[in-house]
């Protein structure tokens, strides 16, 4: 399997961001999947981002963004597309910020239509648009995935599978979803979950053995990112998640 490992973690201080950027490669990761505040200051200046961070392989392998699909939100997503193309990003990971209770089946189909168009624009720029399903967002329940991806055109939108958000959303059989949507999965966010909290991989209640088995079974090739949001130490979490994923893929 041609799998590349990435790390993703929110930072609040520049010192934390510097530690994240300078250490992911030393730990063994192939790239970083950046949260918005880590790249948005450069949004209109991709060349300045490359001057500052371009020496680091895979530093912007994916950009995580979010919002609504109204006029303002679509324009913001297009700005991220242009920036991603300028720095050589592989994936834009989109979190759709609309509460699930406000969404109908027809809405999910309409969102798939809009994101299909944006996904085709992204492909024209050499970037892939990937939907990050999320707790309390439009694609949340197991049936939502069928509705959304049955509507997506020409595989223009991929799927980022987030293990903890699936479990929090009540989707207990993560392995089944991986097998069912292996043809559109282009990214994984692996994180653990227990008692309502995100955990460092291997320190929560999720059974990852069938998840890794499903990843191998579908012959997955692409990015697998530790999405570390437990709030613990950056370097400790980075190392623990790396060892956990490497062990699970053996």
SS3 242: helix
Contact 64, 36 (CB under 8 A): yes
The verdict on pTM exceeding 0.95 is yes
Taking the C-alpha atoms of residue 175 and residue 161, their distance in angstroms, rounded to an integer, is 11
Q: Is the dihedral of CA 140, 143, 148, 154 positive or negative?
A: positive
Question: Which residue ranges make up each domain of the chain?
Answer: 3-249
State the DSSP code for 55: T
SS3 5: strand
- Write the CB contacts of 210 (distance below 8 Å, at least 6 apart in sequence): 174, 175
The pLDDT assigned to 1 comes to 52
20: phi then psi, degrees, rounded to nearest 5: -60, -50
Taking the C-alpha atoms of residue 202 and residue 191, their distance in angstroms, rounded to an integer, is 9
Read out DSSP for 94-139? Answer: EEE-S-GGG--HHHHHHHHHHHHHHHHHHHHTT-EEEEE--TTSSS
165-220 pLDDT, tens digit each? 999 999 999 999 999 999 999 999 999 999 999 999 999 999 999 999 999 999 99
93-130 pLDDT, tens digit each? 999 999 999 999 999 999 999 999 999 999 999 999 99
Write out the CATH class of domain 3-249. alpha beta
Q: Residue range 15-31: average pLDDT?
A: 97
């Amino acid at each position: 399997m041609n799998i590349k490992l990435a790390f993703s973690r929110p930072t609040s201080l520049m010192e934390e961001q510097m530690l994240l950027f300078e250490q992911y490669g030393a730990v063994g990761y192939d790239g970083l999947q950046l949260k918005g505040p880590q790249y948005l200051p450069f949004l209109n200046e991709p060349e300045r981002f490359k001057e500052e961070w371009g020496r680091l392989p895979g530093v912007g392998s994916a950009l995580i963004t979010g919002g609504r699909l109204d006029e303002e939100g679509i324009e913001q997503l297009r700005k991220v597309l242009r920036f991603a193309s300028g720095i050589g990003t592989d994936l834009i990971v989109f979190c759709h910020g609309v509460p699930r209770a406000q969404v109908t089946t027809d809405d999910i189909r309409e969102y798939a239509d809009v994101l299909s168009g944006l996904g085709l624009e992204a492909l024209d720029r050499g970037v892939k648009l990937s939907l990050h399903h999320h707790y309390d967002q439009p694609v949340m329940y197991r049936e939502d995935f069928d509705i959304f991806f049955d509507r997506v055109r020409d595989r223009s939108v991929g799927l980022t599978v987030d293990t903890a958000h699936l479990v929090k959303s009540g989707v207990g059989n993560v392995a089944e979803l991986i097998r069912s949507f292996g043809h559109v999965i282009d990214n994984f966010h692996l994180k653990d979950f227990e008692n309502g909290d995100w955990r460092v991989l291997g320190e929560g209640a999720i059974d990852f053995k069938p998840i890794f088995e499903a990843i191998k079974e579908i012959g997955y090739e692409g990015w697998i990112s530790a999405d570390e949001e437990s709030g613990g130490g950056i370097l400790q979490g980075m190392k623990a998640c790396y060892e956990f994923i490497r062990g699970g893929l053996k």
